[in-house]
């Protein structure tokens, strides 16, 4: 007679699936649901969205429950991904963390520094993982760029993040929507505090927020960085360049490509000094993986939840990026120059710069 009982010896090492819900299934949340439904050892439990029709449609697509009120989802999940408008990050995130639910919040972490600080504190108080969706950290091109630059002496960094106008994320400025990605990346690469910055920007006639901003940052270790972000450029650009002592390394995040330019000038001459041949430079191409950044990001989140490890882009890192973004935004609005001598630069004790209130 066959034994239909489960075999504990064969299953005891199988991990229990991490139960995850998605709150907000708009432009980004749709992709969270898609990737989570494919991850190993993950169970997508439910979907919540204020748009009932959209929420029901997404829940039906992945054969999970729909929750009109996200609070009803919290008691049956281990973790959530929050992809709601920025102004709601704090309220929804606080509810999830206070319920003891591990949380991934899309960037920026919150609409203000005070809100971000409270999220970081509540996550710590409740022993919850708090990861923030700075997805470019998981872009294969950036991963490889970091490896390349470990052996280089960086002199300057240059980032461009440009997009045509879109209706998405129109509740924040281009600094909090786009530039904050590169702020996070430059803080990681420079690995030093900012001691001076200048910024300027402009807005389209029908926008209440800055749509084009450029900023220059001076780091304590001598690295200079320039950032440009735009919501009004008629071509999508995602590039970061590192000007190094012995090379120029360019990362194209859209095409997942890294090029290293090296100067290898060599002259071949006759006895009379006549140049017969000249080689000016060498271009190396670095091959990267094709993994989807969101897949890598969510896999990292799940591993942190399972293992109890802190994420590579946790609340503290996101808070640093938000503080710097807030200063850049204020400088762009005021047209002033900021120097570190104005106050003791400590990421955990910043001056009071507030994100402009929504109209």
* 253-274 confidence digits (pLDDT tens): 999 999 999 877 655 555 566 6
Considering the segment(s) 137-291+312-334 as one domain, its CATH architecture is 2-Layer Sandwich (3.30)
**pLDDT category of residue 356 using cuts at 50, 70 and 90:** very low
Token readout for 304 is: 């942190």
Q: Of the given ranges (58-67, 80-89, 280-289, 341-350), which has the lowest mean pLDDT?
A: 341-350
Homologous superfamily (CATH) of 18-128 is NAD(P)-binding Rossmann-like Domain (3.40.50.720)
* 160-192 confidence digits (pLDDT tens): 999 987 766 567 899 999 999 999 999 999 999
pLDDT at 60: 97
pLDDT at 284: 86
pLDDT at 336: 67
pLDDT at 349: 40
Quote the percentage of the chain above a pLDDT of 90. 73
pLDDT at 354: 36
* 80-101 confidence digits (pLDDT tens): 999 999 999 999 999 999 999 9
Query: Rounded CA gap, 302 and 79, in Å?
Result: 9
Q: Residue 282: beta bridge partners?
A: 262
pLDDT of 33 > 60? The answer is: yes
pLDDT at 263: 77
pLDDT of 327 > 50? The answer is: yes
Token readout for 99 is: 């319920």
CATH 3.40.50.720 range(s) for the chain read 18-128
Average pLDDT of the residues in 119-127: 97
- b/e for 294-318, b at 16 or more Cβ within 10 A? bbbbbbbbbebbbeeeebebbbbbb
pLDDT of 233 > 80? The answer is: yes
pLDDT at 344: 41
Token readout for 174 is: 């281009």
**pLDDT category of residue 3 using cuts at 50, 70 and 90:** very low
Average pLDDT of the residues in 266-284: 64
Q: Which of 320, 305, 295 is nearest to 131 (CA)?
A: 305
pLDDT at 62: 97
The residue that leads in pLDDT, 308 or 344, is: 308
pLDDT at 340: 64
- CA torsion 196-151-144-188 (nearest 10°) is -30
**pLDDT category of residue 7 using cuts at 50, 70 and 90:** very low
CATH 3.30.360.10 range(s) for the chain read 137-291+312-334
**pLDDT category of residue 275 using cuts at 50, 70 and 90:** low
pLDDT of 27 > 80? The answer is: yes
Average pLDDT of the residues in 194-204: 90
pLDDT of 11 > 80? The answer is: no
């Amino acid at each position: 007679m066959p034994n239909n009982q489960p075999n504990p010896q064969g299953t005891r090492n199988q991990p229990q699936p991490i139960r995850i819900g998605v709150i907000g299934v708009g432009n980004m949340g749709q992709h969270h649901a898609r990737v989570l439904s494919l991850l190993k050892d993950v169970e997508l439990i439910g979907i919540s969205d204020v748009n009932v029709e959209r929420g029901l449609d997404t829940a039906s697509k992945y054969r999970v429950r729909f929750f009109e009120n996200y609070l009803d989802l919290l008691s049956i999940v281990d973790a959530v991904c929050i992809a709601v408008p920025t102004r709601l990050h704090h309220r929804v995130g606080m509810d999830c963390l206070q319920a003891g639910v591990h949380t991934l919040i899309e960037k920026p972490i919150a609409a203000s520094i005070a809100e971000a600080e409270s999220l970081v504190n509540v996550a710590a108080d409740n022993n919850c993982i708090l990861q923030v969706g700075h997805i470019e950290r998981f872009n294969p091109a950036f991963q490889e760029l970091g490896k390349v630059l470990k052996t280089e002496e960086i002199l300057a960094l240059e980032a461009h993040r440009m997009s045509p106008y879109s209706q998405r994320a129109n509740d924040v400025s281009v600094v909090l929507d786009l530039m904050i990605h590169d702020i996070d990346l430059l803080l990681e690469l420079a690995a030093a505090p900012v001691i001076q910055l200048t910024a300027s920007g402009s807005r389209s006639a029908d926008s209440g927020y800055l749509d084009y901003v450029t900023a220059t940052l001076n780091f304590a270790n001598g690295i200079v960085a320039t950032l440009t972000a735009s919501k009004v450029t008629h071509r999508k650009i995602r590039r970061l360049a590192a000007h190094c002592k012995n090379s120029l390394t360019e990362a194209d995040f859209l095409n997942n490509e890294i090029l290293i330019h090296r100067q290898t000038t060599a002259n071949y001459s006759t006895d009379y000094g006549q140049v017969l041949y000249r080689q000016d430079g060498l271009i190396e191409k670095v091959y990267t993986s094709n993994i989807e950044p969101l897949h890598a990001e969510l896999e990292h989140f799940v591993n942190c939840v399972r293992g109890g490890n802190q994420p590579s882009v946790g609340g503290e890192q996101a808070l640093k990026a938000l503080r710097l973004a807030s200063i850049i935004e204020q400088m762009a609005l005021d047209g002033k120059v900021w120097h570190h001598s104005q106050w003791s630069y400590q990421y955990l004790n910043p001056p009071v710069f507030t994100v402009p209130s929504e109209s």
